[in-house]
Structure 1
């Protein structure tokens, strides 16, 4: 596996850390939405990699090695020596905003023979991540693993962008399938958030739209708990996500609020919040988040046969807001576990896609650190 990384800050050209020639590489481009909207960015990267497979995603922060950046673009170009990959993309508008149908159709684009893993980079502001995963899981083989993330837009929640071999655009979902007998891919996630306050029941919801808790408007209750911070919604909600437990035996899933509708008194979350689920507010600290990143690294490394050569990290914008000036500590925790030889790239997201520990089935998570580790 040959890997090249580079960073672009503002209007400056890309700065390479180890420039070398790659043949038909997979080029992962994660960056600030405003820079990706610039009409010249696609052609600039195409000139750098004329035969590359270019995959774009907007972010809430960019990760390269053990550094977290803002208002930049980072790229990781990979030439596989023993493995292969296939990239497919679809747009939500084509499927009349039916994420399940899109996910099912997308996963069927990948030939089954030899497929080991599919990494998803999806629009994060208009896509219901839970429904997307349902479609993907329904169409894939049992032995194929999934991971990835929902694109971000800093803490603005205006629009997010993704694309494959074209300028980034809204509503796009990109899947990257990885093939190879010697290819080893492992993924894991962990949070570090703690529930607090009373447990409530979701008495009215539809998909990822939350109407009522305990028979009362959900937004009213949320605003009450936030107090003065309510004026900064939905940004302030990132500091207090919801723990959602769909049944007594189910693992709790963390859900971030993406948007609010004051007129309808509703909240739009990054994934489904089924009626009857039990929910609690959650909070965290810098140390808890750093420790959670360490645990995510430990879980991803568990039972690996080979040391990772590439680590793709997807962490949540809410974690970044809590960490503030200490954000890089969670990346450093990951690096301390996976070792210093792996190239690290990634982004801060509006949602993370990964299985629970010891479970091959992918789920949508919020407020977690998710790792996907590759070696040939």
Structure 2
């Protein structure tokens, strides 16, 4: 039996908001508390207070660029969830200085998983549990951290989902927390072992347009594309779209790039055009990768399809934890469809909790303009 309690506070007073939430989400047998905080709150205080109250369980948190729950797409609030279960086992690890030498954490990752009965050496653990990651943004390190984590896990089907911390569009400093300790340059990875049904899924609101390009000159670490098809990246991108080069940046979020792996598209969104006509992206594209130029679909129809599929996989759906890209949220607000999307969530999902992120993680991939969701069901 799993039970979740979620509460969203818009109280501007940090101390009062935390007190209010603690009263609402407290319950017996809590295994995990997660909180999602706007930068309008004192994050250090929030972290310490939640940890002091819930010291017997795992407590993780992140700064956001918006919060997501059954009341809708919110801003400048404090959202938290407690998950209680007698059979669920949960353990987290804080990886610090992720932009430097995260490989030094391999043994700790291994030990953390073993502690809750997930054997990283086993080829058959993907149906026994999953990972939830909260990553700091602005350091271009998500891919490196995922690579280190998956180098420990032998079952390539084992699923991790996650979101990159936000800072209300300041792009200055993102914070994450584990058991009261706050950092700005790593990740907190939470491993969960459970007998309850679960499903991890991603959604994007794009489809292949039929236009492809080859990334012929790339700086992977800096996420910069210098050339597509042997030509200056910005010049070629604009050419294949049939638009003027000085209008290209207006198309980044409506015609992002897709990396096709198997039959799945993983989005890499351009961030800016540089003075040498190279393009910096929000996630990596490898040298000589063939990328699709994507085009928009109907977001409301996409969400219906996504949640319908989730409901098929988890008929007795109890909870969805969601990480929704900031670029999606901004687009939804621009088109004034956040209310419609909230109604669709509420049609399928009894309890919803998550945040607007600066990037998303799905399996081994760091992606953009994506919704990643964890669906948890009750044991029939």
TM over 0.5: yes
1:296 maps onto 2:306 in alignment: yes
* Equivalent residue in structure 1 for 2:172, among 158, 183, 186: 158
- Residue of structure 1 in register with 2:259 after alignment: 244
Alpha-carbon distance in 2 for matches of 1:149, 1:103? 20
CA distance in structure 2 between the aligned counterparts of 1:193 and 1:179, rounded to whole angstroms: 33
Gaps of 5+ in 1: 356-361
Residue equivalent to 1:351: 359
Asked whether 1:6 is paired with 2:12, we answer no
Structure 1 distance, partners of 2:376, 2:104, is 26
| 1:47 to partner: Cα distance | 4.9
**Structure 1 residue 255: Cα displacement:** 0.7
Q: CA deviation at 1:86?
A: 0.6
SS at match of 1:110: helix
Query: Deviations for 1:127-181, whole angstroms, at most 9, x for unmatched residues?
Result: 333333333223214263222222223444333221211353211211111123x
Q: 1:179 aligns with which of 177, 193, 197?
A: 193
Is 1:318 the counterpart of 2:327? The answer is: yes
Structure 2 contact 47–177 (Cα < 8 Å) conserved = no
C-alpha contact 2:31 2:88 (8 A) present in aligned 1: no
2:366 counterpart residue number = 364
CA pair 196-145 structure 1, distance change in 2 beyond 3 A: closer
From 58, 69, 90, the equivalent of 1:85 is 90
Q: Tell me, in whole angstroms, the C-alpha distance in 1 between the residues paired with 2:375 and 2:367.
A: 18
Q: TM-score, normalised by structure 2?
A: 0.80
Relative distance call for 1:6 and 1:81 in structure 2 (3 A) is same
User: Residues 351 and 31 of structure 1: is their aligned pair in 2 closer, same or farther, counting only changes over 3 Å?
Assistant: same
Q: 1 CA distance for matches of 2:294 and 2:105?
A: 30
2:226 is matched with which residue? 211
Aligned mate of 2:45, from 40, 43, 47:
40
Where does residue 358 of structure 1 map in the other structure?
none
CA-based RMSD of the aligned residues comes to 3.1
CA distance change for structure 1 residues 265 and 196 in 2, over 3 Å: closer, same or farther? same
Query: C-alpha distance in 1, partners of 2:135/2:324?
Result: 14
- Closer, same or farther: CA 228–62 of 1 in aligned 2, 3 Å: farther
Preserved contact between residue 316 and residue 348 of structure 1 (Cα < 8 Å):
yes
1:105, 1:331 → 2: CA distance?
42
Instruction: Give the distance between the partners of 1:329 and 1:135, measured in 2 at CA.
Output: 39
1:271 pairs with 2:283: yes
5+ residue gaps, structure 2: 119-127
Deviation at residue 345 of structure 1 after TM alignment: 0.4
Note the C-alpha offset of 1:102: 6.4
Q: Which residue of 1 aligns with 2:33?
A: 27
1:89 and 1:106 in contact (8 A); partners too: no
Separation (CA, whole Å) in 1 of partners of 2:254 and 2:37: 23
Distance in 2 between the 1:105 and 1:253 partners? 30
Work out the number of aligned pairs and report it: 353
**Cα distance in 2 between the residues matched to 1:169 and 1:34:** 17
Q: Distance in 1 between matches of 2:81 and 2:224?
A: 35
* Alignment CA distance shift 1:261-1:169 (3 Å): farther
Report the counterpart of residue 122 of structure 2 in structure 1.
none
- Partners of 2:187 and 2:73 in 1: CA distance: 24
